[in-house]
Amino acid sequence: MPIQPLIDAATAALNMAEPKPPFSPQEARIEANRCLFCFDAPCIMACPTGIDIPTFIRKITTDNLTGAARTILEANVLGASCARVCPTQMLCEGACVMLDLEKDPIQIGRLQRHATDHVAAVGIDVLHGAAHTNGRKVAILGAGPAGLGCAAELARLGYEATVYDKKPAGGGLNTYGIAYYKMRPQVSLDEVRMIERLGVAFRYGVEIGRDVQPADLLRDHDAVFIGIGLGGANRLGIPGEDLPEVVDALAFIEWIHTRPLAEVPVGRRVAVLGCGNTAIDAVTQAKRLGADEATIIYRRGADDMSAYPFEYDLAKTDGATFLFDTVPVEVVAQDGHVVGLKLAKTTACDVRAAVVPGTEWIQPFDLVLKAVGQEKQAGLLGRLFPGLKVDAKGRVEYDPATMQTSLPTVFVGGDAASGGREVVNAVAEGKKAARGIHALLAGAAESGPIQPSRLGMPDGAVGSGFDAPVRVHELEAALKRG
């Protein structure tokens, strides 16, 4: 049977409510006043974007929420979404000195949300683009966190930044791939609109290599930033993988973000393959959307999973079950639809988990979500940008100080460079790449315009002929319409 939506709109809204409500003004002041405003604060060191945390918290103690938001957003333009999706327990809050004093850490994430929500609610722009552009153009490939971090920094430095993305709206993973109960896509769309107001142009529905050729981008821009993230889910390589109810976990999460909650199809018995944070987001949302059973299947043991411990605890609280040391060996079908998985126990080996012969059994499922990692894009990028060096693990090679690749005017950041880290790391890398681009082009400005030969491109490459930029608010409407 094809899968169907399982619950009504009111129940879905209740189940998908945010776990922690925003602070009231009084709660925020009380929490901010707990901060010790440490010198050489370890929380700052633990933040990949280096937000001056004690400074913004001090501003909250005096009700200067606009100033607090400015401190946050100047360091991290996606401060509103990071306040919701950062694993703060592992970053700033995990480094808070209050823990050494055997007290609860300062709730930095919630305070950050308090300040950034304030400026969003009252419509104050605390960041501004440069008063004059410097005439230099940069193409940003990918409107996800890395691309947005790069574009915003470039706009503030005076560059004409244009972001290209194949989706109908910007934000990347923040708009399409985060658990709905952690963050509404509107928060991410509002951030994109804020960056648009800095002077950044966005062109959506554009796929590099199909609609736009890299040669044209290189010819028409002074630099290119690659922030396209990762590709589709890795293949399982087992019979039945192409059945309609075997779905990429990120695609399932995107369904939740692009259609009414009560119209999202969910299986009664859901299997989630993998045990990273995407797997946890998928299994918890499947349960919250009405699945009777939602089971994580992982080839190794609990100690080996890449999901954070607090995410694991959340999934258990939501009623998810875990099958460790287990792999699927076949997707079982009836009349063209998934009815189960043939599973087998594994034994840990040095390199990969191996199936234990004779341990196979069939377990009923009607939806299988793949969260077994995503394909790297380096091969594709290597074909699109001849000369781009890729390492033995299939990652684009780059200078970590500047994010510059083997092609002098091509920079990279986010998952396309790292292979998959947190949103905040992607923002930091995008920003670092913007500084690297600025260092390159500001140096070039002193020695004359960059010639095509310096871009690694022949003279006389063809023009691009892009359509007029599409405005974000039009795409928000398109996204809501699905």
Handedness of CA 209, 478, 267, 249 (dihedral sign): positive
Specify the residue, 54 or 147, whose C-beta has the smaller distance to ligand SF4: 54
Specify the residue, 97 or 243, whose C-beta has the smaller distance to ligand SF4: 97
DSSP labels for 143-200?
Answer: -SHHHHHHHHHHHHHT-EEEEEESSSSS-THHHHSS-TTT--HHHHHHHHHHHHHTT-
Count the alpha carbons within 13 Å of 390 in the hemisphere toward its beta carbon: 17
Specify the residue, 47 or 423, whose C-beta has the smaller distance to ligand SF4: 47
Specify the residue, 88 or 174, whose C-beta has the smaller distance to ligand SF4: 88
CA–CA separation, 279 and 295 (whole Å): 10
In a 3-state reduction of DSSP, which class is residue 374?
Answer: strand
Specify the residue, 111 or 455, whose C-beta has the smaller distance to ligand SF4: 111
Q: Exposure string (b/e) for 343-359, b if CB count within 10 Å is 16 or more?
A: bbbbeeeeeebebeeee
Q: Which two tokens stand for residue 109?
A: 């994430």
Nearest distance in Å: CB 29, ligand SF4: 15
Which residues here bind ligand SF4, judged by CB under 6 A?
Answer: 35-38, 41-43, 53-54, 96-98, 106, 108
Strand order in the sheet with 246-248: 246-248, 367-370, 269-273, 293-297, 321-323
Specify the residue, 53 or 479, whose C-beta has the smaller distance to ligand SF4: 53
Specify the residue, 54 or 227, whose C-beta has the smaller distance to ligand SF4: 54
Nearest distance in Å: CB 62, ligand SF4: 16
Specify the residue, 93 or 248, whose C-beta has the smaller distance to ligand SF4: 93
Nearest distance in Å: CB 54, ligand SF4: 4
Cβ-contact 110, 23 below 8 angstroms: yes
Nearest distance in Å: CB 47, ligand SF4: 10
Nearest distance in Å: CB 85, ligand SF4: 19
- Stated as kind and residue range, the H or E segment containing 443 is helix 423-446
Nearest distance in Å: CB 314, ligand SF4: 24
Please provide the size of the chain in residues. Answer: 482
DSSP labels for 70-103?
Answer: HHHHHH-TTHHHHHHHS-TTTTHHHH-GGGTTTS
CA–CA separation, 92 and 113 (whole Å): 14
Nearest distance in Å: CB 354, ligand SF4: 45
Nearest distance in Å: CB 397, ligand SF4: 36
Cβ-contact 269, 367 below 8 angstroms: yes
DSSP labels for 304-317?
Answer: G--S-HHHHHHHHH
Specify the residue, 38 or 251, whose C-beta has the smaller distance to ligand SF4: 38
Nearest distance in Å: CB 87, ligand SF4: 16
Going by DSSP bridges, is the β-strand pair 337-347/354-355 parallel, antiparallel, or unpaired?
Answer: antiparallel
